[in-house]
Structure 1
């Protein structure tokens, strides 16, 4: 397989100029039309010539017997069209602007006469789409280049589209998540198809090579593509076209800089340093190598960035570090009482819990855990009194993250002859960053983190014009990504300096081949200290190729094609081993404790007490592979002069995820009994059987690894048919009514699930389940509220860290208490059925207005829980289920047949035995089809292409979405009830984007006769801006007791909602959730932002021009706030204290709107020639 991959790459490089074509709906445009005489009779056999004004390349077609002509696969740019027919005068149409995926209609009426007689039309053709039912938005070169972007990431130009919702805070072009972190019409977050010049640049949820801003010709954002070429997506498509060389030498060189003295405070709510320092250099060069034939365009950028960040933590005071909590206060001024968790007593009859408070609220030094006491010395002193009387956030320090980034690309276009045209492109970027240590003592409890990122893309395209009516297109490309965590590691013996004389951790570190050893993550009260808690090192690669044929056949434009893609490569993503020290362990009870008034995380840390949430993770990097094939047929049928019908059918086949070594798993087969358990069932304690009965338990379950005969993790869907249909009705020459329908099947490669257990970020192609090869073992849980281990010896004899056996586990993997997750063996793809109805009208001055209703009907995947306790038992027996009972699996069977940690524990909680498969931990089936999703939007838009010195895009969208979930409460999870829940994303979005040349000076309408010196001052001014408005989202709440109305009429940052309406669930009590997730009347802070450019252009020579630029991001320095705190046990409950933006839940990600910084000013100089 590696040899085949090498051959493929070599072929791509060799055929850089003569490569093999497109992938899905092509990024290039069309010019088409009908040729008739004054009586409206069609003219067949007319000669139609299309000229690319910039390159001088011509193409010729003949009109069909129905008078139609069509030029397809046109590079975006300016064109002129000439039509000639015997006995008729010549027709010439100038100023044809073809946009990415654009479809320009130029109908011609020829008048009788000679070819010397001609009609020339200089007015730009109407921009209304008369032949397509797609729902697209085009961002032209002028707007793409001049609209200010804080991140300078062309993929984030998609956010100009009103229905495009950003879903992740990482925005920069070197953030591999950034490009696909956008939802386009419901259900597409992280599942959009990304392309540059027709080349797929995505692998899983990440992208490889983003183009530079000055390299971008146009950007298309498609919410619904009715063309059957479009696929490998949940419905969203983001496609970019890069600039190509022309017959003229032209280029740019620029510098952009941001300096602390120009900027406002980055975050005035966290005292972030005013420290943004950014230097960006770059340029482009386009030139002919051979005029009218061979062209080149190159682009390069280099950044050196110092990015301000803030480190906010609650650290112990000197007294607290010494065990003295006598001055530690609650928000109401009362003493925060510290209890001894090792004194916990549970009455199994009444469920009452007692814990002994420490005398005088002081922990004696004799009770300190030795390792915790040593690590406590690494803490530093607070640098402020905290946000309130509790001392929360009493350390705030700004610091700077330093990035180095470069991005290079080169494109060559070659028009060989009238039959062949090819292009090739190579692109690469690289970036590194590393943050410093903001702690004043350079503490080990802060580990500086950074990243190393880079990508390479090589590809090309060839167009063969077989004859005037038939075109064949080929494409091929290869891309590779590196995205890795970088941080100072401790070396392989690093933990031996922390746990001296106790190498309990060795089995997992030995299994983690190639994984660095970092300082352990100490999570103290939800705050991370020490290691970062997460590690990744991903190096996926991908290949794609495609061939298609297009033919005009009378009034039908037919095309058919086939594509293949392959993604593969080592990709390690995992939480690191971590240790949790929650305040609840030193509160008055262990079941729903009142941590608003009792318990402290640093008291827990000093005692070294651990519950069952800490976890060790070990194992090597998986090597996932996936193959994808697509085929399609499309017929664009011009039924009449007014009606065009789009009909298409697409089928996709995709392999299951597999690895060449067959180390992945098919999962747990619960239909197969365990013979040894059936013959010798465990002796369940009477307390358990009295509740569930003797016949409740199921001693089934055999784990299945993949093999050479069954290499995939599941059996893939054989057929994935995606029908497409649309109609475009020409009401008049400037108005069209369009309707479209398209089905999209979500590729397995793009599936991403929230992990139901700890240890994962998400679960998908780039982070597949690797059970057996990767080990996950938690610390022992509390027994009747008493910790079973401490940080000095986190895996003692009653729960030793067990070896990772890989496929040596055989069918016994997971037996003995481990949580397991797997995919259904017959996994069906999620799907989206998308409908749009659009009315489009062109007004004077090339202004196109439209109104669109859009509907997405989704059938999504969800996670099914298979081993939960019946909530009715929890309601009935309450805290009694936490009583300890004899463990029926203690030393049960043999270590080979029952390898999990349960075999080493003499006692367990009663509740842990009230599940159908008590021999296992949690059991989760991922990717189960059946969760409905409904998305509705109404969009109004006005757009003007650049002409007469300005352009603009004004848009508004109203969005309502709801999805089915089985996670509202424990009954839904237990019964797998799917219940619709309203989305918490904002409902209203409004955008205004525009660029304009001020009408003063030479060549403009006003003051155009000024002397040269005065014109140099008055003329050449340009402005550009983007104003965005988003209504607030809907904050969500946990399981609470709610009485009264939580909404108030006058919310303020200090009091956003009625906190008196909420109360925590009483201590030692189980309450089934009944309160809503969110409230229609309770909306978070709204967001609006203005980014603006002011540019002064002047001439250095007749050919060389310069521009001085000043950009202001968040020009008004508005403080946008994030959502209020909805944790009822927090001292800031109900307060919206911090800078932020509206959000929302979008599958496996939460939304972040965009720039959340104080005003930043950028100055620059650009030279063009």
Structure 2
């Protein structure tokens, strides 16, 4: 009764933490030889490396628990008068885990000792129903990891699948992955228990990509003591519905220890890319990663330090071919203009003086004023990646009951990459430059109140600063008379397209920059009372983002051909101007209480509830604007974007049953409700068009104008005269549903764990999830099908002219919490540690994930917005990250020691490896520029499915297009040269019957392997030499057909039949598909050598 009253009191008065602990717990039950509980026994738990010792006593039921122990190796000593002393050595305490150390005391003297090894303890989890896995420092250090990117280790856990725009063995560009049906941005990253999230994207701040797929900063992988990935977790974890990635960094010990390392990789040692058809041509590439660590005692048993530095120097070139005008052709065209009485424009002449087009270098290729028959320029555009990362940590024990930990991380980088290639620019001099700086600071204080009560507080701050600029930022177009109206911040040439030739200028998406800052405070209180282990707590987060995205502020200029370019007469072009600077903030709070109740020695119940409040996003200068349909489209109100949601209560319940009572066979099950925090790119990421923080277009009654678009007049460019005029409002709106709620996911599982040998455990079970109120967006101004049909029958007007509900506006894309998902899976795993020299882990998942939207952004067509916004349920289909079967296997093996002659040479050999096998990811075909078949004006329509798609292993003929047709009744009504939607019979337009994500991409097969040799240099120092092979068998892994262009454009149908013909081709390997052509997954075989000294 007393314990029940205590629990009720805690539920009513909880005012402490959300305890994403980065430590562990030792617990157990002490009995005598008759099985009776031994109360009042003294339990001492001592860290063998730091000397930290904690003491407690067993309760009346013989149980004990020592929580918030730094991860490491411990000795557990249990004494009681009249009994022999029980000692368990080599007890490994892992991050966020509970290590059960039970003891049976034998009658005798305390001076008599009975010793056992922790290796003999049960290896199954008898206390919780959480899912996931833990990678220890030994595993992390031994496995071949491409680019030494810790996020790739996440894929070695069960239930993980890649996001749709990533490849399969690494989260790729933004650290995104799906766990058990969750979305790619529904994960929570913690470093030593404090926030490591980028609040803009909900991605990890460290190892997030810069301008291409490589991480802009890196967490030194040798500084990682443990990496734990959890799902279906207890109430102490919140913020997101997917996985919790909890990383613990190393600490100093009483022994001086350190390392020095060098990893080297060269493109000359690897294989050529599958799509590189010139056998002797390899893209130049070098990657050096180097660094070292050092740690030890400042004051023995009291104060310790650890510091780790890692640098990366990567450089290479992106090869390609394109068309540029030959100088002779330019001269001839100028002469022709003058001969015809025309004038060669002085602005474009000044531009040519900067030599934006290199001279052709491919023999035999020719060009004229309209372009090239074949490419005449072979390019090799250089890129680089410079990264410096440092982490420092201090642990101080004021006493065994009062401990303080401080940690600082600093990462700095600069990257350059030819990002303009995505829009057709292959010329040197127009790279995107991306300097990035990430800093994280944390303090953790543990206070042991008494042997059964403990308080822990943590304070963290992280800052993510990133800037994207064109390589020619310092060049002002006005210096050559090209008056685009930009200042120094938006310097650089416009994106200039000349028909038939390669684009001049950097990508229009730069410049942009953002600075994210996050404060994170947690405080928790743990209380053991009899059979109850109670924990309750509080969390606070504040996220601020200073964001500028001057998309297309430099402008675009289009010329039909070389002649019009030299005359300076553009056929089109536009520019955005205004103020895109926004400073947003969000404050969030969380409360939880949980109880691990050991009902019987064999049955443990995990009960808990948490409450989260994710504050409404605000803007420092009150620039909050959104279209409100309730006002009939008459105004854009200022103020709160959506209603506050105080109803985020998340109960969690689970049980763990030890079937035999021997700790070798366990049945576990759990169910919980999990809420997802808002990421601020929901609102900021739509600049400059669908932007919730941009006051609306200057339509009558719709408020002031923040961003406007100007266009060229069609007249010739003139020295010092404005290029763009007639600035007017943007045509699109972004809106937030005022009733938008917090998304939530139910996670549930039932599994069996079985220890089949002393160091081997298998697990099999069912894992599922159900998502509700997930983010997506609709166009609430899409014309109805009846309106489309009526307009089409009347005059054939396409969706761009069909009357819409709000007739003075076009798109009104509204962010809503209306999508849903369901996930079912069978998951099996095997793990063994130190079994005859082998440590291994294997995971198999057979699953199916279904949803109506897979993300909150449409990076891929129809990923966030349905094809038909009036029928969002029609987009129910495979999730973009749905992978039906996935198998991973990682292993490390060291050969037994040999004695006798040459033992120094014969000993220390071993090998490691990682195998990834998986089915392909979903994709779909869309129309991009070929026509507006549905008549709705939404873009990216899907075709009709009229046959059976047939897949080929040949990437040039991946899928037959004869299975698809234009979504209308076809009548060949127009110009035979035009097979667009103008050939549709009036009134027959409709949305295509091809279901969202119903097609399958190629499978993925990759085997990374390494072998190594350890050589002792002294008693405490060794040298390790390694050779690592990524994709050892050079198996070609192809990108999803929608990559790297983020759309699988089906092209135009046949004019006569309206059906498509031929095949859809895959044009990129997996690494190129994710924008990381050298260190990304799915590339050709790569070879890396390493040397490392440790002491």
Q: TM-score, normalised by structure 1?
A: 0.77
**Displacement after TM superposition at 1:1021 (Å):** 0.8
Taking structure 1 as reference, are residues 111 and 180 closer, same or farther at Cα in structure 2, changes over 3 Å only?
same
Name 1:1072's counterpart in structure 2: 990
Name 1:867's counterpart in structure 2: 781
Structure 1 regions of 5+ residues with no counterpart? 1-19, 325-363, 587-599, 673-697, 707-711, 781-786, 804-815, 884-908
The answer to whether the Cα contact below 8 Å between 2:40 and 2:60 also exists between their aligned partners in 1 is: yes
2:1005 to 1072, 1084, 1088: 1088
1:1129 equivalent to 2:1051? Answer yes
The answer to whether the Cα contact below 8 Å between 1:372 and 1:791 also exists between their aligned partners in 2 is: no
Name 2:843's counterpart in structure 1: 955
The answer to whether the Cα contact below 8 Å between 2:24 and 2:93 also exists between their aligned partners in 1 is: yes
1:918 to 785, 790, 807: 807
| Secondary structure in 2 matching 1:155 | helix
The answer to whether the Cα contact below 8 Å between 1:1089 and 1:1114 also exists between their aligned partners in 2 is: yes
Once residues 992 and 101 of structure 2 are traced to their aligned partners in structure 1, the CA distance between those partners, rounded to angstroms, is 61
2:956 to 1054, 1066, 1079: 1054
Name 1:530's counterpart in structure 2: 505
Taking structure 1 as reference, are residues 955 and 317 closer, same or farther at Cα in structure 2, changes over 3 Å only?
farther
Q: Deviations over 1:611-657 (max 9, x none)?
A: 7x955243242111111111111111111111111111111122211
Structure 2 regions of 5+ residues with no counterpart? 1-14, 207-217, 334-339, 366-370, 698-703, 854-860, 927-940, 968-978, 1043-1047, 1053-1060
Name 1:743's counterpart in structure 2: 673
1:256 equivalent to 2:263? Answer yes
**Aligned-residue CA RMSD (Å):** 4.2
1:705 to 635, 638, 655: 638
Name 1:242's counterpart in structure 2: 249
**Displacement after TM superposition at 1:251 (Å):** 0.9
Once residues 790 and 231 of structure 1 are traced to their aligned partners in structure 2, the CA distance between those partners, rounded to angstroms, is 59
Name 2:543's counterpart in structure 1: 567
Once residues 1034 and 1094 of structure 1 are traced to their aligned partners in structure 2, the CA distance between those partners, rounded to angstroms, is 36
Once residues 849 and 164 of structure 2 are traced to their aligned partners in structure 1, the CA distance between those partners, rounded to angstroms, is 19
Once residues 1049 and 150 of structure 2 are traced to their aligned partners in structure 1, the CA distance between those partners, rounded to angstroms, is 37
**Displacement after TM superposition at 1:1016 (Å):** 2.2
Q: Deviations over 1:476-509 (max 9, x none)?
A: 122111111143345585246363xxx5x54xx4
1:1110 to 1011, 1015, 1027: 1027
2:228 to 213, 220, 234: 220
**Displacement after TM superposition at 1:48 (Å):** 0.7
1:405 equivalent to 2:319? Answer no
Taking structure 1 as reference, are residues 617 and 1159 closer, same or farther at Cα in structure 2, changes over 3 Å only?
farther
Output aligned runs, 1:45-64, within 5 Å. Answer: 45-64=40-59
The answer to whether the Cα contact below 8 Å between 1:939 and 1:958 also exists between their aligned partners in 2 is: yes
Once residues 284 and 53 of structure 1 are traced to their aligned partners in structure 2, the CA distance between those partners, rounded to angstroms, is 21
The answer to whether the Cα contact below 8 Å between 1:964 and 1:981 also exists between their aligned partners in 2 is: yes
**Displacement after TM superposition at 1:864 (Å):** 2.7
Taking structure 1 as reference, are residues 548 and 215 closer, same or farther at Cα in structure 2, changes over 3 Å only?
same
1:722 equivalent to 2:650? Answer yes
The answer to whether the Cα contact below 8 Å between 2:132 and 2:229 also exists between their aligned partners in 1 is: yes
| Secondary structure in 2 matching 1:464 | strand
**Displacement after TM superposition at 1:390 (Å):** 10
The answer to whether the Cα contact below 8 Å between 2:842 and 2:889 also exists between their aligned partners in 1 is: yes
| Secondary structure in 2 matching 1:1060 | helix
Taking structure 1 as reference, are residues 601 and 1136 closer, same or farther at Cα in structure 2, changes over 3 Å only?
farther
Name 1:340's counterpart in structure 2: none
| Secondary structure in 1 matching 2:876 | strand
Once residues 705 and 845 of structure 1 are traced to their aligned partners in structure 2, the CA distance between those partners, rounded to angstroms, is 65
Q: Deviations over 1:734-792 (max 9, x none)?
A: 0111111221211123674897x7747x979xxx6576898444567xxxxxx985795
Once residues 350 and 51 of structure 2 are traced to their aligned partners in structure 1, the CA distance between those partners, rounded to angstroms, is 76
Q: Deviations over 1:524-563 (max 9, x none)?
A: 7998641222122112211111111100011011111111
Name 2:297's counterpart in structure 1: 288
Q: Deviations over 1:349-400 (max 9, x none)?
A: xxxxxxxxxxxxxxx99799997899798445474999xx996877553443
The answer to whether the Cα contact below 8 Å between 1:21 and 1:461 also exists between their aligned partners in 2 is: no
**Displacement after TM superposition at 1:1158 (Å):** 2.3
Q: Deviations over 1:430-485 (max 9, x none)?
A: 1112358999xx99885122210111111111110000100000111221111111
Name 2:90's counterpart in structure 1: 95
**Displacement after TM superposition at 1:254 (Å):** 1.1
The answer to whether the Cα contact below 8 Å between 2:26 and 2:65 also exists between their aligned partners in 1 is: yes
Q: Deviations over 1:171-193 (max 9, x none)?
A: 999x9985642222223312311
The answer to whether the Cα contact below 8 Å between 1:68 and 1:554 also exists between their aligned partners in 2 is: yes
| Secondary structure in 1 matching 2:630 | strand
The answer to whether the Cα contact below 8 Å between 2:951 and 2:960 also exists between their aligned partners in 1 is: no
Output aligned runs, 1:295-310, within 5 Å. Answer: 295-310=304-319
Q: TM-score, normalised by structure 2?
A: 0.82
| Secondary structure in 1 matching 2:110 | coil
Once residues 454 and 108 of structure 2 are traced to their aligned partners in structure 1, the CA distance between those partners, rounded to angstroms, is 33
Taking structure 1 as reference, are residues 606 and 1154 closer, same or farther at Cα in structure 2, changes over 3 Å only?
farther
Name 1:476's counterpart in structure 2: 459
Name 1:596's counterpart in structure 2: none
| Secondary structure in 2 matching 1:515 | helix
Count of paired positions: 986
Name 1:552's counterpart in structure 2: 528
Once residues 747 and 955 of structure 2 are traced to their aligned partners in structure 1, the CA distance between those partners, rounded to angstroms, is 40
Name 1:1009's counterpart in structure 2: 899
Once residues 1017 and 742 of structure 1 are traced to their aligned partners in structure 2, the CA distance between those partners, rounded to angstroms, is 55
Once residues 72 and 799 of structure 2 are traced to their aligned partners in structure 1, the CA distance between those partners, rounded to angstroms, is 72
Range with greater deviation from structure 2 (958-967 or 770-779): 770-779
1:980 equivalent to 2:876? Answer yes
Name 1:517's counterpart in structure 2: 491
Range with greater deviation from structure 2 (230-239 or 1034-1043): 1034-1043
Taking structure 1 as reference, are residues 603 and 836 closer, same or farther at Cα in structure 2, changes over 3 Å only?
farther
Name 1:420's counterpart in structure 2: 402
**Displacement after TM superposition at 1:308 (Å):** 4.2
1:849 to 762, 769, 775: 762
The answer to whether the Cα contact below 8 Å between 1:193 and 1:237 also exists between their aligned partners in 2 is: yes
2:914 to 1013, 1017, 1026: 1026
Once residues 305 and 171 of structure 1 are traced to their aligned partners in structure 2, the CA distance between those partners, rounded to angstroms, is 21
Output aligned runs, 1:99-248, within 5 Å. Answer: 99-122=94-117, 123-167=119-163, 178=173, 180-204=175-199, 205=201, 206-209=203-206, 211-225=219-233, 227-248=234-255
Range with greater deviation from structure 2 (450-459 or 398-407): 398-407
| Secondary structure in 2 matching 1:552 | strand
**Displacement after TM superposition at 1:87 (Å):** 1.8
Once residues 153 and 483 of structure 1 are traced to their aligned partners in structure 2, the CA distance between those partners, rounded to angstroms, is 19
Q: Deviations over 1:235-254 (max 9, x none)?
A: 22111111111111111111
Once residues 115 and 393 of structure 1 are traced to their aligned partners in structure 2, the CA distance between those partners, rounded to angstroms, is 87
Taking structure 1 as reference, are residues 749 and 769 closer, same or farther at Cα in structure 2, changes over 3 Å only?
farther
Once residues 515 and 154 of structure 2 are traced to their aligned partners in structure 1, the CA distance between those partners, rounded to angstroms, is 27
The answer to whether the Cα contact below 8 Å between 1:192 and 1:235 also exists between their aligned partners in 2 is: yes
Taking structure 1 as reference, are residues 286 and 393 closer, same or farther at Cα in structure 2, changes over 3 Å only?
farther
Range with greater deviation from structure 2 (514-523 or 199-208): 514-523
Name 1:337's counterpart in structure 2: none
Taking structure 1 as reference, are residues 443 and 74 closer, same or farther at Cα in structure 2, changes over 3 Å only?
closer
1:646 equivalent to 2:612? Answer no
**Displacement after TM superposition at 1:947 (Å):** 5.3
Range with greater deviation from structure 2 (138-147 or 313-322): 313-322
**Displacement after TM superposition at 1:1045 (Å):** 2.8
Once residues 1153 and 932 of structure 1 are traced to their aligned partners in structure 2, the CA distance between those partners, rounded to angstroms, is 35
Taking structure 1 as reference, are residues 180 and 627 closer, same or farther at Cα in structure 2, changes over 3 Å only?
farther
Range with greater deviation from structure 2 (1038-1047 or 405-414): 1038-1047
The answer to whether the Cα contact below 8 Å between 2:416 and 2:432 also exists between their aligned partners in 1 is: yes
Once residues 855 and 916 of structure 1 are traced to their aligned partners in structure 2, the CA distance between those partners, rounded to angstroms, is 40
Once residues 63 and 193 of structure 1 are traced to their aligned partners in structure 2, the CA distance between those partners, rounded to angstroms, is 35
Name 2:974's counterpart in structure 1: none
1:1166 equivalent to 2:1092? Answer yes
Name 1:466's counterpart in structure 2: 449
